Amino acid sequence: MADKPKNQAQAQAQGERIAKVIARAGLASRRAAEALIAAGRVSVNGAVIASPALNVTSRDQIVVDGRPLPQRLRTRLFRYHKPRGLVTTHADPQGRPTLFAKLPKRLPRLVSVGRLDLNSEGLLLLTNDGGLARALELPATGWERRYRVRARGRVAQEALDGVRDGIAIAGVRYGPIQATLDRESDGANVWLTVSLREGKNREVRKVLEHLGLTVNRLIRVAYGPFELGELDDGKVEEVETDELRKALGPALIAQAKADFEGPMEDDRPRPHHETQGRKARPLRRDAAKPPRATPKIRHRPRDRRSGPRPARPRPKS
């Protein structure tokens, strides 16, 4: 049995998990890649594999559905203005609308950098590189998430300053949070600016609820160096490669193993596996049969003289 790698460099030299490599090539998510492997649709160096517990390198020949694995796609990042009422997932078991179903069809397969819950809105970063998404989600990366928050209730700035060093709520420890009271409206609401670098599930809502506030609007306005700006609700805009490279920096690029030299999604043919197992679109009912000929209407002859149309004689009984 081969020795386990003693450090990260040695681990990288021994390659990456095959599902991760397939995902980086843009064919499927890691979970979908594992399903392809389980179905016997992936082979490595001429042998069909049955388990995703396999590391591969650039020297290995990977074939999916009889076709060689395409060259890895270029790392891309998009800014998206998520509206309220959309779930940040590809498929929702409750049947709620998902943001990925609302994206333009011209975009590549994308994953989100973190999430925004159903009733939250604002900036959400999307990428075609799962490695980049994971790197940007890590608290160790230290990218600030900034929100504009409207909440019902009243709070003093001194109470908001109390979460500056973090707080524990119901046994969960939340990291440092910067919260500023911007203004109090004439009604029962206050507006706050909240910044954090961790982003646990519903963190802003839970911390402010602990302070006696009920959040009724939550808008993310920035994630790291990327800002929502004037991006319209529901719109998506790609970050230019040079801007992305500069924003990430050498350390994050190396950590995420980002690739800025590969082809774009539009430069290569459609992945073969996406066309498998699809049912043919049923023929429309009105196209299944030729249209009926318009029946001829027989008109009774008119009496050219003045007066009503003559009645047809009834047959004698």
3-state secondary structure of 92: coil
The one-letter amino acid code at 53 reads A
DSSP label at residue 256: H
Neighbours of 283 (CB within 10 A): 9
Nearest CA-CA partner of 212 in 195, 196, 188: 188
* 40 secondary structure, DSSP code: T
Which residue among 60, 65, 92, 117 is the active-site one? 117
Residue 165 annotated in active site: no
Q: Over the range 251-262, which residues count as b (16 or more CB within 10 Å of their CB) and which as e?
A: ebbebbbbbeeb
Q: Which residues of 130-148 are buried (b: 16+ CB within 10 A; e: fewer)?
A: bbbbebbeeeebebebbbb
* Distance in angstroms between the alpha carbons of the first and the last residue of the chain: 107
Q: How far is CA 2 from CA 6, 14, 126, 241, 283, in A?
A: 12, 11, 38, 39, 57
The CA distances from residue 118 to 115, 122, 151, 170, in Å, are 9, 12, 17, 23
Is 130:31 a contact under the CB 8 Å cutoff? no
**CB of 214 within 8 A of CB of 221?**
no
d(CA 160, CA 154): 11
Q: What residues act catalytically?
A: 117
